[in-house]
């Protein structure tokens, strides 16, 4: 067996990208079949398909490369199979064609988020396993997981996996998950995610003729809340614009819908004031935020009961680990895994951004961090525009291949580390 050539590696990526795993109907079975076939070409890499839903329509692929010392905790490399939908009419090329342009760009949904890293994991392990000169013999066991449903919250994927006996038996000590592209020469590492809250605020009031002026009407009360929320949003955004914090380090609040009025065949009844009004907000909480303070702000300022208002908070993920500590992995020398990761990237001839970041969105890494397992987000895509969930998502072939080399160094270093 030999290493994959440049073109073979690109073909593996394109074949994976050509499988439509977008919601609402991701083709998980075809993806699992392709990945299992690829894994079978790597010596000693064992594969098993796990199911955590009753109808078995959301499979999880787990690959395992046994280490020589089973008493040490294992390494887990995670990626997700699914992707968000794509508006085909807005793309230059069909989003699941994996169009390979003459300048090296591969256009496809999932090219950055995050089918690329799944194939890079496998290519790196295969290259290490076929290196006759050095001979790759991991001390720690290395697991590679391909999980479903990350893009819809991960609740039928990683969330159920980490609670399973199968996961407990892995004895995971460190996790690498997805990160984000870097528009500059330095790679980015993420030590935490922001956790989403979906907040719905409702107001009620007396209905009446549109010509009358009322105190505390439903819409009046709701607009007062919208004004307060807008001022809070502005205060957070001001810190970003002043350079005092990154976007992902503040609490973001974005309105996503407003609902009020009495519907008619021509739109809305314009001479009647509604008795109910409602607004929805996407709130993103960094792990450094105090959730209780935010809850109090919502109940006392944004939706106080004395103003005939109510609210509902749907927390889409945890903010604290099982010990009640902020959900983050320390990116400093107090964490030996940080040192190993940083040195491995540098050993591959690459550079890291001077400051590790909080990811503005949410990944499956939060489920491992909740269990106290250190996890970093990392996707080796430098000099690349951030296009996840965007039209014309692409990855350049040479950037993809550079990432494989970086993962070779990372996997070799992590799996041979015996200090933690």
Radius of gyration, CA atoms only, the chain:
24
Q: Look-up: residue for tokens 């709130």?
A: 283
Instruction: Report whether 375 contacts 85 (CB < 8 A).
Output: no
Phi and psi (nearest 5°) for 5? -75, 170
Buried b (16+ CB within 10 A) or exposed e, 322-342: eeeeebbbebeeebebbebbb
Buried b (16+ CB within 10 A) or exposed e, 98-133: bbbeeeebbbbbbbbbbbbbbbbbbbbbbbbbbeee
Nearest to 113 by CA among 379, 408, 411: 379
Task: Given the residues 82, 114, 193, 321, select the one marked as catalytic.
Answer: 82
392 is catalytic: no
Is 389 labelled as part of a ligand binding site? yes
Give the H/E segment covering residue 46: strand 46-50
Nearest to 357 by CA among 252, 250, 253: 250
Nearest to 360 by CA among 290, 298, 287, 281: 287
Task: Given the residues 114, 123, 150, 177, select the one marked as catalytic.
Answer: 150
Distances (CA, A) of 210 to 205, 270, 272: 13, 7, 5
**What is the rounded CA–CA span in Å between residue 228 and residue 206?**
22
Is 25 labelled as part of a ligand binding site? no
Buried b (16+ CB within 10 A) or exposed e, 5-16: eeeebbebbbeb
Instruction: Report whether 57 contacts 123 (CB < 8 A).
Output: no
Burial class (CB in 10 A: 0-12, 13-18, 19+), 276: middle
Is 185 labelled as part of a ligand binding site? no
Helix (H, G, I), strand (E, B) or coil at 266: coil
Phi and psi (nearest 5°) for 196? -85, 135
**What is the rounded CA–CA span in Å between residue 339 and residue 294?**
34
Question: CA quadruple 353, 358, 364, 368: dihedral positive or negative?
Answer: positive
321 is catalytic: no
Active site residues: 82, 150
Bind-site residues:
80, 113, 151, 178, 389
Which residue ranges are tagged as binding site for Zn(2+)?
Answer: 80, 113, 151, 178, 389
């Amino acid at each position: 067996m030999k290493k994959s050539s440049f073109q073979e590696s690109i073909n593996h990526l394109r074949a994976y990208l050509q499988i439509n795993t977008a919601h609402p109907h991701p083709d998980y079975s075809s993806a699992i079949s392709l990945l299992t076939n690829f894994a079978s070409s790597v010596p000693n890499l064992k594969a098993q398909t796990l199911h955590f839903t009753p109808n078995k329509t959301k499979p999880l692929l787990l690959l395992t490369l046994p280490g020589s010392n089973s008493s040490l905790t294992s390494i887990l490399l995670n990626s997700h199979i699914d992707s968000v939908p794509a508006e085909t009419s807005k793309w230059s090329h069909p989003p699941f064609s994996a169009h390979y342009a003459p300048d090296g760009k591969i256009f496809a949904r999932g090219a950055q988020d995050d089918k690329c890293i799944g194939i890079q994991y496998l290519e790196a392990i295969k290259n290490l396993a076929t290196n006759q000169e050095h001979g790759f013999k991991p001390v720690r066991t290395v697991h590679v997981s391909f999980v479903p449903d990350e893009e819809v919250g991960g609740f039928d994927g990683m969330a159920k996996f980490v609670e399973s006996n199968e996961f407990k038996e892995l004895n995971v000590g460190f996790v690498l998950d997805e990160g984000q592209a870097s528009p500059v020469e330095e790679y980015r590492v993420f030590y935490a995610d922001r956790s989403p809250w979906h907040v719905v605020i409702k107001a009620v009031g007396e209905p009446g003729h549109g010509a009358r002026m009322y105190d505390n009407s439903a819409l009046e009360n709701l607009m007062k809340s919208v004004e307060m929320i807008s001022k809070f949003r502005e205060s957070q955004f001001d810190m970003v614009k002043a350079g005092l914090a990154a976007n992902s380090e503040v609490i973001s609040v974005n309105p996503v819908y407003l609902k009020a009025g009495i519907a008619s065949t021509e739109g809305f009844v314009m001479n009647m004031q509604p008795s109910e009004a409602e607004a929805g907000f996407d709130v993103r909480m960094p792990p450094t935020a105090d959730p209780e303070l935010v809850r109090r702000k919502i109940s006392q300022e944004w939706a106080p009961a004395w103003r005939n208002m109510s609210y509902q908070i749907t927390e889409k993920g945890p903010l604290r680990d099982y010990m009640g500590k902020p959900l983050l992995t320390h990116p400093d020398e107090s964490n030996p895994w940080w040192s190993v990761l940083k040195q491995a990237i540098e050993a591959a001839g690459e550079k890291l951004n001077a400051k590790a970041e909080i990811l503005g969105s949410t990944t499956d890494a939060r489920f491992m961090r909740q269990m106290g397992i250190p996890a970093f987000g990392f996707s080796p895509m430098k000099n690349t525009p951030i296009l996840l969930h965007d039209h014309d998502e692409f990855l350049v072939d040479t950037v993809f291949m550079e990432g494989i080399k970086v993962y070779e160094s990372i996997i070799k270093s992590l799996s041979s580390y015996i200090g933690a």
